[in-house]
Amino acid sequence: MADGFTGTTLRINLSNGEIKKLPTDRKLMRDWYGGRGIVAKICYDEVPRDADPLGPDNVFIITSGILSGAFTPGGSKVEFGSVSPLTNGQGDSNMGGHLGPALKFAGFDLVIFSGISPKPVYICIDNDKVEIRDATKYWGMGSLDCEHVLKQDLGEDFEIATIGPSGERGILFSCISHDFGRQAGRTGQGAVMGSKKIKAIAVRGNKAIKVHNLEALYKHTYDIIQRTKEHPNMEPWQKYGTSFFIRWSNDNAVMPTRNFQTTWYEDVEKIDGESLVTKCLVTHKACFGCWMNCGKYSKAVIEGKKTVFAEGPEYETGALCGPNLGMHDINHVVYINYLLDNYGMDSMSGGGVMAFAMECFEKGLITEKDLEGHTMKWGSIDDVEHFLDMVVNQRGIGAWFAGGTRKAAEKIGKGSEKFAMQVKGQEMSGYDGRWAPGMLLSYMTADIGAHHNRSWTITVDMAEGRETTEGRAKIVIYLQHIRPLFDTWCSCRLFWGELDITPEEYAEAMNLITGWSDTIDQALKVSEKIWNLNRCHYLERNKANGRTFDYPPARSWEDKIPSGPGKGKGVSLEQVEAMLDDYYRERGWDKNGNPSRALLEDLGMGFAADNLEKSGFLGKPLEGGIPKVRGEKYKPKAF
């Protein structure tokens, strides 16, 4: 086994309780790097195309990649993966904290769960001792509450991931929580964990991570630490974390406001980063080995409600549960953050789902009668609290929203799908793409739906022109390779975006850990391979041409921005179509958005071309052949 890996894979069949310790597949790790890559390949290989994502045939994987835990910048992540119940495509989501490193210290590269447990369980990994334990006592607890109780029961030194009632009950945008505020939120990984009846995973380890050249790695990272301490972004980052960008996004007219109706919020000063740190901050909080502590652990004090603690809101939650819900008090945003965290709901999708419900209420598509006598008004914390109770208990129309925005719009009808702000079933991140066309294209084409971590282009759009779509596809493609590469390494990308650590420096860390000598271009090629494998997986499962799934909701081109600095701006449907055409061509896909054989073979994935051909969705050969290089190197200013 290459250095950097523990060499052991756990396979746990929850249906029969069998626990197997197997040698980690060396070739698989070499070809796919681990993290997001290994998760994509295992799901592609092992989950039948017609399997119910919440059924026994889906797998559920937890893994930490090469950089996690291994004294690298931002090396703290843990990756979860399975076929997503929210998108019905390959799903992955990751979080920081301390769990990923702990898994390695316990001696495991990855854990692959299959089947469904007959009763609620939690998994206890204490170095070599791995047990499936009864979780009846914990079932029903909130995510944060359960972590607290498990720490009391097992010991403070266990690192614990939990789900809340939301994941237990199959609400499709459920998340996995850890470290009292870190979440793997997207793609409904919490719902999959809940479907398998896993309430929690507790890990403790005291083994060393073996690396190829520790002396050089130590110098490499130590020098980066000392260099970045002096970086001008360090101080604001440490003070505000991502909440700094609330004001920035608003000033630049990309802030989702009242369900993406407009892009500028008039009361931003009431919910921005400054109000967070002055009114609610309890402590700055960092992930494993991170020296820029973006976490803001906060307290909400609201008259008539219990005082609660939550980590955040970071930017996404702050935007999607702040301006997007029309909130006027940062304490209320922290309180909503807490509610979603403790229920175990993704606070990004949660914000999107609630904003959608509020607009439906505003337009009379749902009424007080539907809401058990309550309203669902912008800015009302009481309405939010009641609505979430309906959703988590799937009471009345709460059950519609439990499936996320797309499914709720299908139930409500009456044209509501126009403003159901999602792509492929995944709710949009906290940026409106109407005056940031690259961002819109990023949402449209991301493998997991409208999530910004695949590609974030606001500064690109500002630099290259916010009213033109030309040339954006190549940049989006590059970003879709480099940003998910960090998820493949299980490392935080923020050091790259914010502190100017170069991609080459990350690749160097990988090589010092593993003994490999891969260039950054080779690493990007692995990332491109993963991207295309996920596309093939999506097409095989959803059985239609890729283009069918790549459109944003019609608000994106039908409604111009009505207010703020972006007033009157917006893209046309023609521009949306043109961006897709450009994007497919630059990717080596045909006009239907299907990968061609030439491309898949160029990436060493003839097997994927064969499978796609059998399913009827292999792309037609491209006139003039595929582009030699897909994506254009670009360094965005931030994020």
Partner 1 sequence: MRIKVNADNCTGCRLCRQVCAIKHFEEINPAKAALWIEAKFPDPGKYKPHVCIQCGKCVKVCPEGAISRDTSTGAHIVDKTKCTNCGICVSTCPEKVIFQHPDLNHVIICDFCMECTTVCNVDAITKWDVMKPSIAAGKEA
**Other C-beta atoms within 10 Å of 20: how many?**
11
Q: Choose among 417, 408, 418, 355: nearest CA to 383.
A: 355
Q: How far is the CB of 217 from partner 1 (least distance, A)?
A: 9
Judged by beta carbon, residue 144 or residue 340, the one nearer partner 1 is: 144
Q: Which amino acid, residue 241?
A: G
Radius of gyration of the chain (CA): 23
Residue 518 pairs in a beta bridge with none
Query: What is the token pair recorded at 485?
Result: 């590469």
Q: CA 612 to CA 77: how far, in whole Å?
A: 32
Nearer to partner 1, 136 or 307 (CB): 307
In the complex with partner 1, which residue's Cβ is closer, 290 or 520?
A: 290
- Number of Cβ within 10 Å of residue 118's Cβ equals 11
What's the gap between Cα 637 and its chain centre?
Answer: 21
Residues that bind partner 1 (CB under 8 A): 69-71, 98, 105, 144, 148, 156, 179-180, 205-211, 214, 218, 222, 225-226, 229, 234, 238, 282-293, 295, 297, 299, 309
Cα separation, 465 vs 577, whole angstroms = 18
282 or 573: CB nearest partner 1 = 282
Handedness of CA 271, 273, 276, 279 (dihedral sign): negative
Nearer to partner 1, 81 or 295 (CB): 295
In the complex, minimum distance from the CB of residue 291 to partner 1, in angstroms, rounded to a whole number: 4
378 within 8 A of 355, measured Cβ to Cβ = no
Q: For residues 226 and 572, which CB has a smaller minimum distance to partner 1 in the complex?
A: 226
**Element (DSSP H or E) covering residue 289:** none
Q: How far is CA 413 from CA 387, 388, 418, 479, 636, in A?
A: 19, 21, 10, 35, 39
Minimum CB distance to partner 1, residue 125 (Å): 15
In the complex, what is the shortest distance from the CB of residue 158 to partner 1, in angstroms, rounded to a whole number? 12
Give me the long-range contacts of 595-599 (CB less than 8 A, separation at least 24): 595/532, 595/535, 595/536, 595/619, 596/620, 596/621, 596/622, 596/626, 597/621, 598/622, 598/625, 598/626, 599/532, 599/626
Per the CB < 8 A criterion, the answer to whether 344 and 388 are in contact is no
How many Å apart are CA 360 and CA 377, to the nearest integer? 10
**Cβ atoms within 10 Å, residue 81:** 31
Residue with smaller CB distance to partner 1, 283 or 517: 283
Angle (CA) 496 30 11, round 5° = 105
HSE-CB for 299 with a 13 A CA cutoff: 8
Q: Which two tokens stand for residue 252?
A: 């630049």
Side-chain-side CA neighbours of residue 465 (13 Å): 7
User: Which one, 98 or 332, has the nearer CB to partner 1?
Assistant: 98
CA 51 vs. chain centroid, Å, equals 22
CB of 119 to partner 1, least distance (A): 28
Contact 36, 92 (CB under 8 A): yes
| Minimum CB distance to partner 1 smaller for 205 or for 318 | 205
- Give the residue with the Cβ less far from partner 1, 209 or 376: 209
CA–CA separation, 143 and 151 (whole Å): 12
Shortest spacing between CB 582 and partner 1, in angstroms: 42
Residue 209 or 354: which CB sits closer to partner 1? Answer: 209
User: Which two tokens mark 345?
Assistant: 């709901």
Instruction: Give 21 or 218: the residue with its C-beta nearer to partner 1.
Output: 218
Q: How big is the CA angle at 223 (ends 219 and 227), to the nearest 5 degrees?
A: 175
Going 134 to 63 to 24 to 195, the CA torsion angle's sign is positive
Of the pair 228, 257, the CB lying nearest partner 1 is at 228
Pick the closer one to partner 1 by CB: 218 or 395. Answer: 218
- Cα 527 to Cα 31, 34, 384, 474, 514, distances in angstroms: 11, 11, 39, 15, 18
Q: Which is nearer to partner 1, 287 or 358 (CB)?
A: 287
Rounded-to-10 torsion of CA 550, 554, 560, 565? -50
- Helical H segments across 543-593, by residue range: 555-558, 573-587
Structure tokens at 538: 């999506």
Smallest distance, partner 1 to C-beta of residue 139, A: 20
Least Å distance, CB 5 to partner 1, is: 13
Beta carbon of residue 460, minimum distance to partner 1 (angstroms, whole number): 30
CB of 182 to partner 1, least distance (A): 11
